[in-house]
Protein backbone atom coordinates (compact mmCIF):
# COMPACT_ATOMS: atom_id res chain seq x y z
CA UNK A 1 0.00 0.00 0.00
CA UNK A 2 1.45 3.35 -0.96
CA UNK A 3 1.32 6.59 1.05
CA UNK A 4 -1.81 7.72 -0.84
CA UNK A 5 -3.75 4.62 0.19
CA UNK A 6 -3.54 2.86 -3.15
CA UNK A 7 -3.10 -0.89 -3.27
CA UNK A 8 -1.32 -2.44 -6.25
CA UNK A 9 -3.18 -5.61 -7.15
CA UNK A 10 -1.03 -8.57 -8.14
CA UNK A 11 -1.30 -9.41 -11.84
CA UNK A 12 -3.21 -12.65 -11.17
CA UNK A 13 -5.84 -10.66 -9.28
CA UNK A 14 -6.03 -8.10 -12.08
CA UNK A 15 -6.48 -10.90 -14.62
CA UNK A 16 -9.28 -12.40 -12.52
CA UNK A 17 -11.12 -9.07 -12.60
CA UNK A 18 -10.55 -8.71 -16.36
CA UNK A 19 -12.06 -12.18 -16.92
CA UNK A 20 -15.10 -11.06 -14.92
CA UNK A 21 -15.29 -7.90 -17.03
CA UNK A 22 -14.91 -5.76 -13.92
CA UNK A 23 -13.02 -2.47 -13.64
CA UNK A 24 -14.76 -1.41 -10.46
CA UNK A 25 -14.63 -2.92 -6.98
CA UNK A 26 -16.29 -2.22 -3.64
CA UNK A 27 -13.76 -1.93 -0.80
CA UNK A 28 -15.05 -2.36 2.75
CA UNK A 29 -14.86 -4.32 5.98
CA UNK A 30 -17.60 -6.47 7.46
CA UNK A 31 -15.74 -7.37 10.65
CA UNK A 32 -13.71 -4.18 11.35
CA UNK A 33 -10.51 -6.23 11.05
CA UNK A 34 -10.16 -7.38 7.44
CA UNK A 35 -10.55 -5.36 4.27
CA UNK A 36 -12.76 -7.08 1.72
CA UNK A 37 -12.44 -6.14 -1.93
CA UNK A 38 -15.43 -7.27 -3.97
CA UNK A 39 -15.79 -7.13 -7.74
CA UNK A 40 -18.77 -4.81 -8.11
CA UNK A 41 -20.96 -7.54 -9.58
CA UNK A 42 -20.38 -9.75 -6.54
CA UNK A 43 -21.01 -6.84 -4.21
CA UNK A 44 -24.40 -6.27 -5.92
CA UNK A 45 -25.30 -9.88 -5.00
CA UNK A 46 -24.46 -9.05 -1.35
CA UNK A 47 -26.58 -5.90 -1.50
CA UNK A 48 -29.55 -7.97 -2.67
CA UNK A 49 -28.84 -10.50 0.08
CA UNK A 50 -28.92 -7.73 2.71
CA UNK A 51 -32.10 -6.29 1.25
CA UNK A 52 -33.91 -9.66 1.13
CA UNK A 53 -32.61 -11.04 4.43
CA UNK A 54 -35.05 -11.47 7.27
CA UNK A 55 -32.17 -11.60 9.77
CA UNK A 56 -31.94 -8.31 11.69
CA UNK A 57 -28.14 -8.61 11.64
CA UNK A 58 -28.20 -7.92 7.89
CA UNK A 59 -29.18 -4.28 8.45
CA UNK A 60 -26.26 -3.73 10.83
CA UNK A 61 -23.68 -5.48 8.66
CA UNK A 62 -24.93 -3.62 5.57
CA UNK A 63 -24.75 -0.31 7.45
CA UNK A 64 -21.18 -0.98 8.56
CA UNK A 65 -20.13 -2.11 5.09
CA UNK A 66 -21.47 1.08 3.53
CA UNK A 67 -20.15 3.30 6.31
CA UNK A 68 -16.61 1.98 5.91
CA UNK A 69 -16.73 1.16 2.20
CA UNK A 70 -16.50 2.87 -1.14
CA UNK A 71 -16.42 2.05 -4.82
CA UNK A 72 -12.96 2.11 -6.37
CA UNK A 73 -11.93 1.92 -10.00
CA UNK A 74 -8.81 0.05 -11.00
CA UNK A 75 -6.39 2.62 -12.41
CA UNK A 76 -4.09 2.13 -15.41
CA UNK A 77 -1.36 0.79 -13.10
CA UNK A 78 -3.61 -1.84 -11.52
CA UNK A 79 -4.16 0.04 -8.26
CA UNK A 80 -7.28 0.59 -6.20
CA UNK A 81 -7.89 3.14 -3.47
CA UNK A 82 -8.59 1.90 0.04
CA UNK A 83 -10.90 4.38 1.88
CA UNK A 84 -9.03 6.63 4.31
CA UNK A 85 -11.14 5.88 7.37
CA UNK A 86 -10.84 2.15 6.74
CA UNK A 87 -7.04 2.36 6.38
CA UNK A 88 -6.74 4.32 9.61
CA UNK A 89 -9.09 2.11 11.58
CA UNK A 90 -7.20 -1.04 10.56
CA UNK A 91 -3.74 0.52 10.92
CA UNK A 92 -2.63 -0.29 7.38
CA UNK A 93 -1.61 3.13 6.09
CA UNK A 94 1.76 2.89 4.32
CA UNK A 95 2.15 -0.61 5.78
CA UNK A 96 2.78 -4.04 4.29
CA UNK A 97 -0.40 -6.00 3.67
CA UNK A 98 -1.27 -9.52 2.53
CA UNK A 99 -3.94 -10.47 0.01
CA UNK A 100 -5.83 -13.68 -0.59
CA UNK A 101 -8.57 -14.61 -3.03
CA UNK A 102 -11.49 -16.31 -1.31
CA UNK A 103 -15.07 -16.94 -2.48
CA UNK A 104 -14.84 -14.42 -5.32
CA UNK A 105 -13.45 -11.58 -3.23
CA UNK A 106 -10.02 -10.46 -2.08
CA UNK A 107 -9.23 -10.34 1.64
CA UNK A 108 -6.57 -7.86 2.75
CA UNK A 109 -4.81 -8.46 6.06
CA UNK A 110 -2.53 -6.32 8.20
CA UNK A 111 0.71 -7.98 9.28
CA UNK A 112 -0.60 -8.82 12.76
CA UNK A 113 -3.89 -10.19 11.49
CA UNK A 114 -2.13 -12.25 8.81
CA UNK A 115 0.18 -13.80 11.39
CA UNK A 116 -2.79 -14.54 13.66
CA UNK A 117 -4.67 -16.10 10.74
CA UNK A 118 -1.65 -18.26 9.90
CA UNK A 119 -1.36 -19.48 13.51
CA UNK A 120 -5.05 -20.44 13.56
CA UNK A 121 -4.75 -22.24 10.22
CA UNK A 122 -1.84 -24.31 11.49
CA UNK A 123 -3.62 -25.40 14.69
CA UNK A 124 -4.75 -29.00 14.30
CA UNK A 125 -3.81 -28.95 10.62
CA UNK A 126 -3.32 -32.70 10.34
CA UNK A 127 -6.86 -33.36 11.61
CA UNK A 128 -8.32 -30.62 9.40
CA UNK A 129 -6.64 -32.10 6.36
CA UNK A 130 -7.79 -35.65 7.13
CA UNK A 131 -11.39 -34.42 7.55
CA UNK A 132 -11.32 -32.48 4.29
CA UNK A 133 -9.81 -35.41 2.38
CA UNK A 134 -12.62 -37.63 3.70
CA UNK A 135 -15.05 -35.01 2.35
CA UNK A 136 -13.46 -35.13 -1.11
CA UNK A 137 -10.42 -32.85 -1.12
CA UNK A 138 -7.90 -34.23 -3.62
Q: Which of 107, 61, 116 is nearest to 82 (CA)?
A: 107
Task: Give residue limits of the domains in the chain.
Answer: 6-134
CATH 3.40.1550.20, domain 6-134, yes or no: yes
Residue 1 has pLDDT above 90, yes or no: no
**Average pLDDT, whole number, for the chain?**
95
Can you give the pTM of this predicted structure?
A: 0.91
CA dist 91 and 35 (Å) reads 11
Task: Write out pLDDT tens, residues 105-121.
Answer: 999 999 999 999 999 99
Residue 63 has pLDDT above 90, yes or no: yes
- Judge residue 64's burial from the number of C-beta atoms within 10 Å of its C-beta, 0-12 exposed, 13-18 middle, 19 or more buried: middle
CA dist 50 and 58 (Å) reads 5
Task: Write out pLDDT tens, residues 70-80.
Answer: 999 999 999 99
Amino acid sequence: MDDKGRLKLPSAFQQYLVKLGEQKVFVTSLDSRTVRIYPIGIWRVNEKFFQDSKDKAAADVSFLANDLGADSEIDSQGRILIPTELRRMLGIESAPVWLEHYKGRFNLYSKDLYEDRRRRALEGLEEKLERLERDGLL
